[in-house]
Amino acid sequence: MIRQVNHCAHDWLISLTQQDDESELDLILISAIQSVLFGTKLIIYINKFLDHTHRPKQINLKKTQSPLILSDDQVDEIIAKVGSNKIHIGEINSKTVTYFPIYHFGDVLGFVLAYGSNEFSNPQISTAVSILNVYANQLFTLFRAKIDPLSELLNRQTFDKKIQEILSGQGFLSPRTPIPADSVWHLAMLDIDHFKRVNDQYGHVIGDEVIILIARLIKNSFRSEDYVFRYGGEEFAILFQCKKSEDAFQVLERLRSAIEEFEFPQVGKLTISAGFTSLVDYEMVPALVQKADLALYHSKNSGRNKVANFDQIAESTNGILITGNDPELF
Ligand SMILES: Nc1nc2c(ncn2[C@@H]2O[C@H](COP(=O)(O)OP(=O)(O)OP(=O)(O)O)[C@@H](O)[C@H]2O)c(=O)[nH]1
């Protein structure tokens, strides 16, 4: 048995550390764990945000096939029980369950629940724990690659991938709270007004500080199911769901006004301009980004500190947007 476990240990170590795609990594984790803890039903809960504000979500199976779906309270209770270096044995529905923690630098990110058995050998337990450690390390590496280091928002590469996933209907790879079916995805582009003046007057360090603070204000205005990206320099992109464009406008207006009222240390008051459009699945990504960008430039060129809805201005201006000195036709 030990030889068998060691043999697959070698294979999963290579497979897990080779993965640069999160969902592939999950699949390899599932098959690696299954090959070690064979003969038992496995359920995996993980917090892919790797933070303290999100609750781990089930990743392993389609909900309809899952032998067990835990309530939020049960998940919280298990997380409190599994220490970062120890397995825990408990009972659910009169069946024995063994919980293996998934942790990274002492933070418990989730757990694997082996349902209906606690009869594991020491080599099985230590191999399973090692697999989970390597998985958590690789997950963390992939997570860092998605993040812009200054603002700690998702980066431009992740934006390209996420918007493509939405349009192709694959949904997101990370588990997310379900959103009502009648909601529509929207894309907003947002830019700090006269940001060059901040750098010129106060220097780049203060400029960087402003980017960090604005990133936080944006994040605080959206739900955890929405996606906020640093698109480039002082430009941000947001992918979010709303039932109607009027609601999307209100959300962005609230953000615009929150930033307008915020007192930036040393700098004082600043404003942002924004443009947005709803996502239509038969359009290509560059066309959608261009629409949101055109609406953003419309906001800039009609006085800044404004939010513009591409679809609405396109209708009311008969396809002519103010994007610079010359009106642009589309
Ligand atoms: N501090 C800092 N500045 C940046 C960063 N990325 C881009 N910038 C600066 O952002 C400024 C953008 O200036 P412009 O594109 O002229 O736009 P603006 O001054 O914001 O004017 P409008 O967009 O027309 O309102 C430039 O000075 C860039 O150097 C960054 O990471 N940190």
Å from CA of 144 to ligand 1 middle: 25
Is 7 close to ligand 1, i.e. is its CB under 6 Å away?
no
- The answer to which of 7-11, 57-61, 235-239, 285-289 has the lowest mean pLDDT is 7-11
For residue 139, is pLDDT > 60?
Answer: yes
- The answer to which of 18-22, 99-103, 220-224, 320-324 has the lowest mean pLDDT is 320-324
Which of 93-112 are b and which e, b meaning 16 or more Cβ less than 10 Å from the residue's Cβ? eeeebbbbbbbbeeebbbbb
The Cα–Cα gap between 206 and 242 comes to 34
**pLDDT over 90, % of the chain:** 50
Strand 307-309 versus strand 272-278 pairing type: parallel
For residue 229, is pLDDT > 90?
Answer: yes
Is 204 close to ligand 1, i.e. is its CB under 6 Å away?
yes
Is 299 close to ligand 1, i.e. is its CB under 6 Å away?
no
At the top level of CATH, the class of 156-329 is: alpha beta
Instruction: Write out the catalytic residue numbers.
Output: 234
**pLDDT band at 81, cuts 50/70/90?**
confident
Give the number of other CB atoms < 10 A from CB of residue 275.
28
Domain residue ranges in the chain: 2-145, 156-329
Q: Which two tokens stand for residue 283?
A: 């359009």
Confidence (pTM): 0.79
- Interface pTM, i.e. ipTM: 0.96
Determine the atom of ligand 1 nearest the C-alpha atom of 232: 6
State which CATH number among 3.30.450.40, 1.10.10.10, 3.90.550.10, 1.10.730.10 fits the domain covering 2-145.
3.30.450.40
Q: Which two tokens stand for residue 282?
A: 């038969």
Determine the atom of ligand 1 nearest the C-alpha atom of 207: 1
In the beta sheet, which residues pair with residue 103? 108
Decide: helix, strand or coil at residue 192.
strand
DSSP codes of every residue in 224-283: TTSEEEEEETTEEEEEEEESSHHHHHHHHHHHHHHHHH--BTTTB---EEEEEEE--TTS
For residue 273, is pLDDT > 80?
Answer: yes
Q: If you average pLDDT over every residue of the chain, what do you get?
A: 86
Enter the DSSP assignment of 93. T
The Cα–Cα gap between 113 and 41 comes to 8
Q: What is the dihedral of CA 226, 232, 233, 237, to 10 degrees?
A: -30
Is 211 close to ligand 1, i.e. is its CB under 6 Å away?
yes
Enter the DSSP assignment of 65. G
Q: What is the pLDDT of residue 182?
A: 74
Same fold across 2-145 and 156-329? no
